[in-house]
Amino acid sequence: MLEFYKKQHLYPKVQFIVIAKNGEVTASDDNLFPLEPGSDIAEFHPFFESVIPLLADKNTQLSYYCIHIKDKICDVDCKTFEGKDPLIVIHDLTEHYESLQLVTQMRNETVIESEILSLQNTYLQEKEAFKRTFIANFSHELRNPLTGIFSFTEMLEKTHLSDEQYDLVEVVKSLCQDLNIMIEDILDLSKIEVGKFFTKDEVFDFDEMLDTVNFIYSTKARQKNLNFQIHRDEKIPQYIEGDQSRIKQLLANTIENAIKFTDEGQVDLYLKLNNKRANKVNIQFEITDTGIGIAKKDLNDIFTSFTQVHKDNKYPGSGLGLAIVKNLVTLMEGNISAESELGKGTSIRFNLKLKFPLHHREKQKKKTQESDILFNNPDKYSILLIEDNKISQIIVLKILASQGAFFLDIAENGAQAMERVEENDYDLILMDLRLPDISGYELAPLIRDLPEKKYAKTPIVALSGSMMGDGKNDYKKAGINDILQKPFQELQLLKQLKKFFK
Ligand code: ADP
């Protein structure tokens, strides 16, 4: 029985052949190949033709590897003896060589594949680097002509234009401004990506920064009937060391989004001290809203450049804001995350590692500007700005924010303005003369004639774009107290206000 099994599993792998010196087969066990005694071994396979002459020497042993004989791959040993015929031993190593070949082939393929991958990687990296440098250079080049267009438009604005021409110039200026913001954003991003973006370390008054943020965004939120509130952790030091303008940029991008994507309810900024060690602080900023929210599947994409998950024209944008936020936060060694529920609202949370001065003496401001000291009233003056042009809105907003002495509401047209004046008591009204639905000369008398003559004496200052505005000399008849010519400087506006708030 055992022999039967052995026969099935042990099959011969070696053949012994004895040959004469001329190559004639004298004996063979035919284990691998049948060989007729008396036949010429060179005829059996041409390999042996070259071996036969070497068999003349006595007592030699020659070994040959990986010889293809018929359908097998073999090693061949040839031995000569003194006074005896030479012996040829053929070892069938087909399986061994074939598996070796497979392994070698696989190894070669892996090596080739990894070389291809590394080549592709280098190619992609070079392409990416080229793209970044190209974008950085190109955006930089775009700035010059754009600055040119902007300054010439400003010059044109100061010439004698009709009201219609003035409005067209304002549109060009506004488009330039949009383009400029986009170019600055792209430049910031590419600078961060190529490692050429540096943040500044300067000591600044955190509370003063929050006051400005509060003024700007509560004004913007009120325009949409939203409520904006800052919740400050008292443990955060008043003076912080870091890049104030970049922190403001982080807050601007996230809070602007929160206001943009919220139609009803509340936008909040929560500030929490995560930890404070030596002269280091870790502050958490969380911006929450009660807006339209973001679907779970889109949440990871919001930090990618040029990605907008709400493709509705109602929400304009470039999809760069949050990409910049993420890059800046990473640069300032922080983390960022987002949580959201569709229809319920969104929360963007990031933390920053900042420093704070252990002993801070308030630095004397280098040069006190005239505009710095104009207003120091303890009770804030409440002002209504009636203006549809976004640039003018921002200009007034920034000038008033710098004083910390005002409360500002913005109405974009006559109808909104009437609603606001009926509901509130303003100390002064700033009004553009050309509004989308009515002219300032018509709107002012409507305000003056409100029931109980509520606004009979409230100062109304008109903002006029065109030098040639119709009826410019009749403004007093319409109940307007004074006219401020656009474009105006910070000090011009503040002095104008000061005239009425003595
Ligand atoms: P955009 O210029 O479009 O605002 P961002 O990079 O700031 O670009 O934001 C990317 C996208 O993420 C937005 O287009 C919007 O779809 C979504 N998003 C950002 N913030 C909010 C938010 N507070 N609520 C809802 N969606 C948001």
pLDDT tens per residue across span 8-61: 666 678 999 999 988 999 999 999 999 999 999 999 998 888 888 888 788 888
Percent of the chain with pLDDT over 90: 49
122 alpha carbon, distance to own chain's centre: 23
User: Sorting pLDDT into bands at 50, 70 and 90, what band is 369?
Assistant: low
pTM of the model: 0.69
Q: Is the CB of 342 under 6 A from ligand 1?
A: no
Q: Is the CB of 294 under 6 A from ligand 1?
A: yes
> If DSSP codes are grouped into helix, strand and coil, which group holds residue 269?
strand
pLDDT tens string 83-134: 888 999 999 999 888 888 888 888 888 898 998 899 888 888 888 777 777 7
> If DSSP codes are grouped into helix, strand and coil, which group holds residue 375?
coil
Supply the pLDDT for residue 15.
93
Residue 357: is its pLDDT beyond 70? yes
Residue 219's closest CA among 426, 384, 346, 378? 384
User: Sorting pLDDT into bands at 50, 70 and 90, what band is 361?
Assistant: low
Who wins on pLDDT, 188 or 346?
Answer: 346
pLDDT tens string 282-323: 999 999 999 999 999 999 899 988 888 888 778 888 888 999
User: Sorting pLDDT into bands at 50, 70 and 90, what band is 468?
Assistant: low
Residue 5: is its pLDDT beyond 90? no
Q: Is the CB of 261 under 6 A from ligand 1?
A: yes
Residue 155: is its pLDDT beyond 90? no
Alpha carbon distance 93, 80 (integer Å): 23
pLDDT tens string 223-247: 999 999 999 999 999 999 999 999 9
Task: Name the amino acid, one letter, at 433.
Answer: L
Query: Across the chain, what does the average pLDDT equal?
Result: 88
Q: Give the DSSP letter of residue 427.
A: S
Residue 366: is its pLDDT beyond 60? no
Encoded tokens for 289: 């809203």
Look-up: residue for tokens 């060690």?
A: 277
Q: Could you give all domains of the chain from N- to C-terminal order, each with its CATH number?
A: 9-92 (3.30.450.20), 202-355 (3.30.565.10), 370-500 (3.40.50.2300)
Q: Is the CB of 463 under 6 A from ligand 1?
A: no
Residue 463's closest CA among 371, 399, 378? 399
Residue 209's closest CA among 177, 241, 256, 254? 241
Supply the pLDDT for residue 106.
87
Q: Ligand 1 centroid vs 204 CA: distance in angstroms?
A: 29
Alpha carbon distance 412, 86 (integer Å): 112
Q: Ligand 1 centroid vs 275 CA: distance in angstroms?
A: 30
Q: Is the CB of 291 under 6 A from ligand 1?
A: yes
User: Sorting pLDDT into bands at 50, 70 and 90, what band is 459?
Assistant: very high
Supply the pLDDT for residue 8.
64
Q: Ligand 1 centroid vs 327 CA: distance in angstroms?
A: 15
**Do residues 355 and 278 touch, judged by C-beta distance below 8 A?**
no
Supply the pLDDT for residue 408.
94
pLDDT tens string 62-75: 899 989 998 899 99
Supply the pLDDT for residue 311.
80
